[in-house]
Structure 1
Amino acid sequence: MKTLLIVAHAPSTNMQALVDALQAGANDSAIDDVQVVLAEALQATPEQVLACDGIVLFTPENLGYMSGGMKDFFDRCYYSVLEHKQGLACALLIRAGSDGTGTRRAIESIVTGLRWQWAQAPLTCRGDWQLKFVEQARELGMGMAAGLSAGIF
């Protein structure tokens, strides 16, 4: 069985709705051979990353950058996983009030350093809250789990 790790920092109700949608999509009943593990960014461990076959990162944009929780995750895990998880399939969901570019660039730089592979282009949900963000998050979670299940990544 493959393992999909979702590392998320969701400090608000709307952001938690996106995390719930990511998890629901990844746990879709049509995909029965992928275990989904949800870890809050401040509690996610290098061991969880080492044990996963794919990872989804979720962060709000704070002051033009990733959340402090996501930064903490990378600070704690980077060197422990660097030599062991090259090629890890990853995806990124950013919730940005206005832009998201700074957050995306920062995480893309870290992912490049880790030598992880994008399973899909980063998704940025920008602007005022919209219900379509929930469906986009669900599709991202489902796509990652389906790709792992099918051996695409």
Structure 2
Amino acid sequence: MTSKQLLLVAHAPSPNTQKLVDALLQGASHPDIEQVHTRWLPPLRTQPEDVLTADAIILGTTENLGYMSGALKDFFDRCYYPVLEKKQGLPCALFIRAGLDGTGTRRAVESIVTGLRWKWIQEPLTLRGKWQDEFLKQVEELGLSVAAGLEAGIY
């Protein structure tokens, strides 16, 4: 079996959002997952070639003024057209760290993902309100479930 590539494109501007990235990577790198290589790139460093080599993608963003982070928007601006025709059907998931409700952020990302014709593999995970350590477990489970599904050939 050939190794699958899981790409995490997540904006982590604070210690807590970096903890979310680390938890997701920990879940995706569970010892039982042997055929999935997970790689995190901040949105501003992610290039179209990174998306083109991915078998699945997880997006992560903060809620910024009711919208996605500027860094994630920049990623979409640079990568949208170079990957549009080549990565239709790419399995994707999303987590949002929202100080409020995350609705506008979710809607904005869903609109772009719909345009890219990527395939949602689960409902977006919105981590609302004040910081809770439970967020780490939720994001770790997201990483594990996406990596396990990718390895099993579900996506």
TM over 0.5: yes
Q: Deviations over 1:31-74 (max 9, x none)?
A: 00001111011100100000000000000000000000000000
Q: How many residues align?
A: 153
Return the match for 1:114 from 94, 113, 116: 116
SS at match of 1:28: coil
Where in structure 1 do 4 or more consecutive aligned residues deviate above 2 Å? none
CA distance in 2, matches of 1:107, 1:125: 15
Identity %: 64
TM-score by length of 2: 0.98
Query: What amino acid does structure 2 have at the position aligned with 1:127?
Result: G
CA distance in 2, matches of 1:40, 1:57: 10
CA distance in 2, matches of 1:139, 1:21: 9
Q: Deviations over 1:81-130 (max 9, x none)?
A: 00000000000000000110000000000000000000110000000000
Matched, 1:41 2:51: no
Query: What amino acid does structure 2 have at the position aligned with 1:65?
Result: Y
SS at match of 1:42: helix
Query: What amino acid does structure 2 have at the position aligned with 1:63?
Result: L
CA distance in 2, matches of 1:74, 1:10: 16
Which residue in the other structure is 1:85 paired with?
Answer: 87
CA distance in 1, matches of 2:37, 2:5: 5
TM-score by length of 1: 0.99
CA distance in 2, matches of 1:98, 1:37: 29
SS at match of 2:18: helix
Which residue in the other structure is 2:32 paired with?
Answer: 30
Query: What amino acid does structure 2 have at the position aligned with 1:150?
Result: A
SS at match of 1:3: strand
SS at match of 2:131: coil
Return the offset for 1:12: 0.2
TM-align CA RMSD = 0.4
Matched, 1:134 2:136: yes
The runs of 5 or more residues in structure 1 that have no matched partner are: none
The runs of 5 or more residues in structure 2 that have no matched partner are: none
Counterpart mapping for 1:52-63 below 5 A:
52-63=54-65
SS at match of 1:21: helix
